[in-house]
């Protein structure tokens, strides 16, 4: 009985770590940061695959699992407000090259990040423009609210979604994240560990039924602008209401700038104040 009580109390404590947990706030695409003009949707032929993030006019960052072993000639990157409609999008591009992030820089985390070099860079406008990256790990504000994009659970991958739903996500520490997963009986191992630098969020505030879409960026409002903190890529186990796990961007920001010098990087995290949106 004592062990059961301990688990229940620990579960309650961890829920209290998630600000806004249990909120009845309704999330819509209008609640999101602006209109998400940096988002890119990636299609395999006519099939929706994942999201990516425009970080320069030439480059989108996403996860390598989005491409698998399919020929690059079968992929299209769609951008703009109508990007989910492949035949009516504002800008389309084929994929010229995939540039995998060096495993040594991302601490051999599960999953991997990849830079997608576009054959037809889009014209930068109010509806299509890149977001900024972060430079270092000096300031990760646990319990602050950031954002990602998600889908309803009944999504059919063979039918492109009509819209993505904005999800408010509270940042939580890797230690809290690990403890929550360890309490799940269906996780593959009770000894789950979070790699150094892992970014973790609680479930979407207001709707645990929203599933963050593969490749979605994790964004926070910082120093007067939206910045890319990480990209969703993996989880030890999957179930509604569990944390989301992201590969952080800061370990590869310098490497990205070497490849694409026009990428904007926010360098001084220690002197700026992050604000929730």
For range 215-228, the mean pLDDT: 86
Alpha carbon distance, N-terminus to C-terminus of the chain:
43
Calculate the alpha carbon distances from 259 to 77, 96, 117, 158, 271 in Å: 19, 14, 10, 34, 27
Percent of the chain with pLDDT over 90: 33
CA atoms within 13 A on the CB side of 115: 19
Higher pLDDT, 196 or 260: 260
How far is 251 from 108, CA to CA, in rounded Å? 12
Angle 162-159-128 from CA coordinates, rounded to 5°? 45
Residue 275 has pLDDT above 70, yes or no: no
Quote the pLDDT of residue 188: 64
Higher pLDDT, 108 or 114: 114
pTM (two decimals): 0.83
Quote the pLDDT of residue 18: 43
pLDDT per residue as tens digits for the range 31-55? 456 679 999 999 999 899 999 999 9
For range 19-42, the mean pLDDT: 58
Residue 141 has pLDDT above 80, yes or no: no
Percent of the chain with pLDDT over 70: 71
Quote the pLDDT of residue 223: 73
Q: Work out the angle between the directed axes of helices 2-16 and 174-182 (0-180°, nearest 10).
A: 140
Quote the pLDDT of residue 1: 42
Pick from 165-169, 201-205, 214-218 the range whose average pLDDT is largest.
214-218
Calculate the alpha carbon distances from 160 to 42, 86, 155, 156, 180 in Å: 11, 8, 9, 8, 33
For range 132-154, the mean pLDDT: 74
For range 94-118, the mean pLDDT: 83
Q: Which helix (H) or strand (E) holds 78?
A: strand 75-79
- The gap from C-alpha 272 to its chain's centroid, in whole angstroms, comes to 22
How far is 205 from 201, CA to CA, in rounded Å? 10
Question: Which domains, ranges and CATH numbers included, belong to the chain?
Answer: 2-31+132-250+265-275 (2.40.10.10), 39-118 (2.40.10.10)
Quote the pLDDT of residue 234: 65
């Amino acid at each position: 009985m004592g062990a059961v009580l301990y688990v229940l109390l620990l579960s309650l404590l961890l829920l209290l770590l998630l600000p806004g947990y249990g909120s009845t706030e309704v999330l819509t695409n209008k609640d999101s940061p602006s209109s998400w003009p940096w988002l890119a949707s990636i299609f395999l032929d006519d099939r929706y695959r994942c999201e990516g993030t425009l970080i320069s006019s030439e480059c989108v960052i996403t996860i390598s699992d989005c491409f698998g072993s399919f020929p690059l000639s079968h992929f299209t990157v769609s951008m703009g407000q109508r990007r989910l409609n492949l035949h009516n999008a504002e800008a389309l591009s084929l994929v010229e090259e995939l540039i995998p992030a060096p495993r040594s820089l991302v601490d051999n985390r599960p999953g991997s990040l990849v830079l997608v070099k576009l054959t037809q860079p889009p014209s930068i406008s109010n509806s299509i423009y890149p977001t900024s990256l972060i430079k270092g790990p000096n300031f990760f504000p646990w319990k602050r609210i950031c954002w990602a994009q998600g889908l309803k659970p009944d999504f059919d991958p063979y039918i492109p979604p009509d819209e993505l739903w904005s999800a408010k996500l509270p940042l939580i520490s890797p230690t809290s994240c690990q403890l929550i997963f360890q309490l799940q009986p269906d996780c593959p191992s009770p000894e789950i560990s979070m790699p150094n630098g892992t970014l973790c969020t609680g479930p979407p505030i207001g709707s645990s039924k929203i599933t963050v879409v593969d490749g979605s960026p994790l964004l926070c409002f910082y120093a007067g602008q939206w910045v890319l903190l990480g990209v969703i890529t993996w989880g030890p186990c999957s179930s509604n209401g569990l944390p989301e796990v992201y590969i952080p961007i800061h370990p590869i920001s310098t490497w990205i700038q070497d490849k694409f010098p026009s990428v904007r990087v926010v360098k001084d995290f220690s002197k700026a104040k992050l604000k929730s949106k």
